[in-house]
């Protein structure tokens, strides 16, 4: 069995060497079997193709360009002085009992009243007399239960001074600016002047900060 396993490895190695002569520079063969494994490496890895540095190169050029006047939105911190304002809030009024007055209608009725009388001897006595009381309105007081409820109330609150960000549109006048361009110059051996293939503009606004 060991001879058979070695023969297979030898045949694979010979085929790999023949293949590398025509196609590649490196071969890596690994044969595994329960309890045994053979790994064969031949040649060196093919180097990666180098970048063609002779096609051209980048150069940075500066030029002066005119920026048209335009409107821009700017954000400023504005001081808001302290003030007082009226706010509304809902408050809970708990349940309570209170005395209310109301006018009620009293229909006509017969009532018995005692009248004071004096006889001829000067003695005072009382007698029951039936009288008619006409219908009328009278004011009565009664206790009523008022359930709890929410109520809107107004109160004055103090608002401290603060800074707030406010956006506004401002006009930016036209101006000249210096911009930088990265220009790819391709080498052309048949012409005296280099050939420009690609431009990449890098603006440099006033203040020295560049934005790509």
Same domain, 77 and 164: yes
**Which residue's entry shows tokens 């920026």?**
67
> pLDDT by residue for the chain (212 residues), tens digit each?
455 555 555 555 555 555 444 444 455 556 666 666 666 565 555 554 444 445 778 888 888 899 999 999 999 899 999 999 999 999 999 999 989 999 999 899 888 888 888 888 888 888 898 888 899 999 999 999 999 999 999 999 999 999 999 998 999 999 999 988 888 888 765 554 555 555 555 554 444 443 33
Same domain, 131 and 88: yes
Q: How many domains does the chain have?
A: 3
Same domain, 40 and 58: no
Residue among 45, 8, 47 at smallest CA distance from 30: 8
Same domain, 41 and 136: no
Residue 151 lies in a domain: no
For residue 57, the enclosing domain spans 49-82+160-212
Same domain, 119 and 171: no
Residue 22 lies in a domain: yes
Residue 77 lies in a domain: yes
Residue among 202, 210, 206 at smallest CA distance from 59: 202
Same domain, 55 and 39: no
Residue among 60, 61, 64 at smallest CA distance from 206: 64
Residue 150 lies in a domain: no
Same domain, 183 and 78: yes
């Amino acid at each position: 069995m060991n001879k058979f396993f070695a023969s297979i490895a030898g045949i694979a190695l010979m085929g790999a060497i023949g293949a590398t002569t025509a196609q590649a520079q490196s071969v890596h063969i690994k044969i595994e079997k329960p309890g045994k494994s053979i790994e064969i490496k031949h040649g060196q890895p093919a180097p990666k193709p180098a970048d063609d540095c002779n096609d051209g190169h980048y150069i940075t050029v500066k030029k002066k360009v005119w920026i048209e006047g335009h409107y821009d939105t700017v954000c400023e911190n504005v001081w808001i002085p302290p003030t007082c304002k009226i706010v509304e809030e809902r408050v809970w009024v708990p349940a309570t009992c209170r005395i209310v007055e109301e006018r009620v209608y009293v229909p006509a009725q017969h009532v018995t009243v005692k009248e004071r009388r004096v006889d001829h001897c000067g003695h005072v006595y009382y007698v029951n007399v039936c009288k008619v009381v006409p219908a009328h309105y009278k004011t009565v007081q009664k206790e009523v239960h008022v359930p709890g409820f929410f109520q809107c109330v107004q109160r004055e609150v103090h608002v401290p001074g603060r800074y707030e960000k406010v956006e506004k549109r401002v006009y930016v006048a036209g101006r000249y600016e210096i911009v930088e361009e990265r220009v790819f110059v391709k080498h052309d051996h048949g012409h005296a002047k280099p050939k420009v293939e690609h431009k990449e503009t890098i603006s440099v606004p006033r203040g020295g900060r560049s934005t790509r």
